[in-house]
A and B are shown apart, each in its own frame.
Chain A
Amino acid sequence: MNIISQVTDSAPKYIIYDFGILTSRIHEWLSSMMNTTWTSVVEMVLIGVVFLSFYALVGLILVYAERKVCAFIQCRLGPMRVGPWGIFQTIADFIKLLMKELLITRNADKFLFNVAPFIVIIASFLAIGTIPFAKGIQALDFNVGVLYLMSVSSLGVLGILLAGWASNNKYSLIGAMRSGAQIVSYELSVGLALMVVVIFAGSMQFSEIVQSQATGWWIWKGHIPVIIAFVIFMIASTAETNRGPFDLAEAESELTAGFHTEYSGIKFAFFFLAEYMNMFIIASIAATVFFGGWMPLHFGNFAAFNHAMDYIPPFVWFFSKTMFVIFLMMWFKWTFPRLRIDQLLTLEWKYLLPINLVNVVLAAFIVLMGWYLI
């Protein structure tokens, strides 16, 4: 089983921090103590625990960051009371959510109602496994990584639809149906935008896509088609995560809270956390595919500069790029008004999709002619 990836390809010399060595050491150490099956089980549990804690941590940080960014954009200060600059606010909120009563509406479909938040959260868990945090730190390194990511990230809508249906509430149902229409259409654009980079990189494996950016990030090397793809990816993926300005599924002013109107306590927290986690996943995919993931900033043949950049750990590169993309998403969430459902579908089918199709052809042509920058 390919639980911990062991990239054994001839790693170029400039990669200083290779966590593949660390992970393979752990793997050998575990294998020396137990048989193969148990090694796999222990590794799975370990990775699960690591991802769970990472999940909670990122969720808390992102909620705080969102509230602060939104406050600053709206000329406010945001949370300031709990801890210095309100940094413990989200922890306090989390404790509050844990202690709240779990309510179920009368005549709700109890089984589906309870299972829906888990589907949403499991979908984002499956997706997070493919993200390469650094060389060798990637839970699942498929050769069809992009395809896998597309398929599991679209599972989340199933949970949203079930939540809306099972709540026995008109607002929830409308929110869920809108979300379904939205994700079915925007999935196309996300896939085609990623396809452009897949054409450039020549691989669907995330580790290889990152590796192909060793001499320059695709947003720079692939110039026009990749920039167009990046813009489309940002728009379409925001729509796919149900974030503003595409938050029709929640639409506080129209549907109270859309599909999670009837949820309280920890089940609501699951939806909430999954939303922020999906944002993190989308941002890290954008960072990986367009900005080189954990790959340091390299410019063609400037050896000295490239070498100096290599000393900055890959985690720093990965998280700073991801945070940049997250900031972009927050920026336009708090700038633009929400779209109407017909505007949403017009944007996808009349604008993004045709542009995307032309863009894929353009990218293929550029790759054919070899017109890369650098």
Chain B
Amino acid sequence: MTGIVEYIKDVFGALKSLWTGMKVTGYYFVHPKEIVTEQYPENRETLKMFDRFKGELTMPHNEKNEHKCTSCGICEMNCPNGSIEVISKFETIDGKKKKMLDTYIYHLEMCTFCDLCVKTCPSSAIEFAQTFEHAVWDRSELTKKLNKQDSVCSKDIKE
């Protein structure tokens, strides 16, 4: 007798669990606002990538054309595939010889967007931008210089 009761319970339990699943999919079917698809080329103007998206490496500059890079080279050491080249120069300020950033070269074509450079930068000088349209006609265009012309490190300036 208990076998039959179990059997009937089984059938109704199964129907109930199936209905639970169908309610979820039915909800999505009648709620088009849940759709997550981005119509990419059409919504180019309004499309905003999320903050943690890693598009390309950038070095933010402030309005006085200053960046925070001290040319320590930790990012270059940490980069697993050599996408970063930090070329430094030595200048004498107040009679002291000081290491300064000359050119910060970033190879976008080699970058795997692992985020190790940004994580290890002691002065938070570099960060990832949310841009993603990187297609170019020539590979040389993918090698970028991140520090702007005549920019200086903000830490070197005497108050």
Residue of B nearest to A73 (CB): B25
A335 with B35: in contact, given A73-B28, A74-B28, A75-B28 (CB under 8 Å)?
no
CB atoms of B39 and A335 under 8 A apart? no
Contact B34–A75 (Cβ < 8 Å):
yes
A72 near B: Cβ within 8 Å? yes
**Contact of A77 with B39 at beta-carbon distance under 8 Å, contacts A335-B21, A336-B18 already known:** yes
A69-B29, A351-B11, A355-B11 given as contacts; is B36 within 8 A of A76 (CB)?
A: yes
Q: Are B36 and A75 in contact (CB under 8 A)?
A: yes
CB-CB nearest in chain A for B24 = A335
**Residues in A neighbouring B29, C-beta threshold 8 A:** 69, 72-73, 331
Tell me, yes or no, whether B95 is within 8 Å of chain A by CB.
no
Render A74-85 as a binary contact track against B, CB cut-off 8 A, 1 for contact: 111100100000
Separation of A351 and B32 alpha carbons in the complex (Å): 37
Partner of A77, one of B11, B21, B37: B37
Contact with B along A57-78 (1 / 0, CB 8 A): 0000000000001001111110
- Number of cross-chain contacts by CB at 8 Å: 37
Question: Using Cβ atoms and an 8 Å threshold, which residues of chain A touch B25?
Answer: 73, 331, 334-335
Asked if A29 is at the interface (CB within 8 A of a chain B CB), the reply is: no
Within 8 A of A (CB), among B48-73: none
User: In the complex, A335→B37 CA distance in Å?
Assistant: 20
Interface size class of A (residues with CB under 8 A): 10 to 19
Report B-chain residues with C-beta under 8 Å of the C-beta of A332: 18, 22
Neighbour of B39 across the interface among A73, A80, A331, CB < 8 A: A80
Chain A, 300-349, CB within 8 A of any chain B CB: 331-332, 334-336
A359 to B149, CA, bound (A): 85
Inter-subunit contact A77/B35 (CB<8 Å): yes
In the bound complex, CA of A336 to CA of B26 (Å):
12
Q: Return chain B residues, CB-CB under 8 Å to A76.
A: 35-37
Within 8 A of B (CB), among A65-123: 69, 72-77, 80
Are the CB atoms of B35 and A75 closer together than 8 Å?
yes
Question: How many interface residues does B have (CB within 8 Å)?
Answer: 16
A332 to B22, CA, bound (A): 7
Which of A73, A332, A336: most chain B Cβ within 10 A? A73
Q: Which positions 4-58 of chain B face chain A at CB distance < 8 Å?
A: 10-11, 18, 21-22, 24-26, 28-29, 32, 34-37, 39
Interface centre among B22, B25, B37, by most chain A C-beta atoms within 10 angstroms, is B25
> Are the CB atoms of A335 and B28 closer together than 8 Å?
no
Contact residues in A for B35 (Cβ distance below 8 Å): 72, 75-77
CA distance A69 to B35 in the complex (A): 12
B26 pairs with A331, CB closer than 8 A: yes
Bound: A56/B77 CA distance, A: 63
For B22, give its contact among A69, A75, A335, A351 (CB under 8 Å): A335
Q: In angstroms, how far is the closest chain B Cβ from the Cβ of A144? A: 32
Q: Which chain A residues border B32 with CB–CB below 8 Å?
A: 72
Closest to A354 in B: B7
In the complex, what distance in Å separates the CA atom of A336 from the CA atom of B25?
A: 10
Which of the listed residues A73, A331, A335, A355 has the most CB atoms from chain B within 10 Å of its own CB? A335
Q: Given the complex, which residues of B lie within 8 Å of A74, measured CB to CB?
A: 28
Bound-complex Cα distance A75 to B35 (A): 4
**How close is B105's CB to chain A, nearest CB, in angstroms?**
40
Question: Residues of B contacting A69 with CB < 8 Å?
Answer: 29
Q: Are A336 and B37 in contact (CB under 8 A)?
A: no
Complex formed: what's the CA distance from A138 to B148 in Å? 79
Distance of A113 Cα from B18 Cα, bound (Å): 39
Pick 21 A–B contacts, CB within 8 A, sort by A: A72-B28, A72-B32, A72-B35, A73-B29, A74-B28, A75-B28, A75-B34, A75-B36, A75-B37, A76-B35, A77-B39, A80-B39, A331-B22, A331-B25, A331-B26, A332-B18, A332-B22, A335-B21, A335-B25, A351-B11, A355-B11
Q: Which residues of B contact A (CB under 8 A)?
A: 10-11, 18, 21-22, 24-26, 28-29, 32, 34-37, 39
Binding site for B on A (CB under 8 A): 69, 72-77, 80, 331-332, 334-336, 351, 355
Sorted from nearest, which 6 A-B pairs have the closest CB atoms? A77-B37, A335-B25, A73-B25, A335-B21, A72-B29, A76-B37
